[in-house]
Structures are given as C-alpha cells and as structure tokens.
Homo-oligomer: A and B are copies of this chain.
Amino acid sequence: MQIGIVAKKIGLSVDAIRFYERNALLPRPPRTRGGFRQYAETDVETLAFIRRVQGLGFKLSEIRGLLNLRGNRLQPCAPVRRRLQEKLSDVQQKLASLHNLERDLRLALRHCNREMRKRSAHCPILRERNPSKPEGAK
C-alpha cells in the first residue's frame, strides 16, 4: 500500500504520516526500488492507534511511550492504566480551572450588565482596578 492510500484510509495527510515516521511513532516501512514507501496492514493499525489515543488527549511524545509498551507482551496493562489515570487527573484539573474561568466570565458579564443598565459611560472591565480577581484560571 502506498502512502496516499494509507492516508486516505485513516484520514490523515501524507505529510502527517511522514512526520510520524520522522518522529519515531511509525516504523520505517520497506521501499520499492524507486524509493516509495510500502505499508502493511499493521502500519494502518498503528496509525489508527495513534489517532485513537490522540483522541484521548495524549501528546505524540506520550503516544511514543505507549507504542513502546505495545511492543512487548509482558502484561503491559498496568503501565497503560497508570498513564490513563494520570491523564484523567490532568483532564480533571483542566476542568476545574475552566470552571473557574467560566465563573469569572459570568461575573464580569454581570458587572457589565449592571453598568449598562445604569447607562454609565465607563465599562467596568476596561476601567476597574480589580473587578473580580480572576486568579484560578489556567
């Protein structure tokens, strides 16, 4: 299978696949005499895996770690589990900080509305010194 076919199959760009190869996420495939990459089904699976865990919020560098795990057969579930748990707590932290941000934005909007009702000429967001101490946000 040549690279364009694989790209279409998986929904990636040709450039992205070559990028993954350069960055050791995908093994170097054999080539035709002319130098064209020739992929097998396992490569397609690897790419599908990459997409899938990328969808779980893993960075490419982390995915590289997972792929190495994937290579050996000795009960690799435990380290994967650990990584999933780490990722879950990352996500939960991000959620918390976004919730804070949401609260601060609502607060700012409320100030804004109050000022508009008063037909005041100065916007509290633009003028005030310290309207709501938005700190918690990431």
Contact = CB atoms under 8 A, between A and B. Distances in A.
Interface residues of A, number: 51
B84 A105 contact: yes
A90 to B, nearest CB: 9
A94 interface: yes
A87 B73 CA distance: 47
A129 B53 contact: no
B104 A55 contact: yes
Contacts of A129: 48
Contact of A84 (B77, B108, B121, B122): B108
Interface stretch (A2-10, A12-20, A30-38, A112-120): A112-120
A25 B99 CA distance: 28
Interface in A76-102: 76-78, 80-81, 84-85, 87-88, 91-92, 94-95, 98-99, 101-102
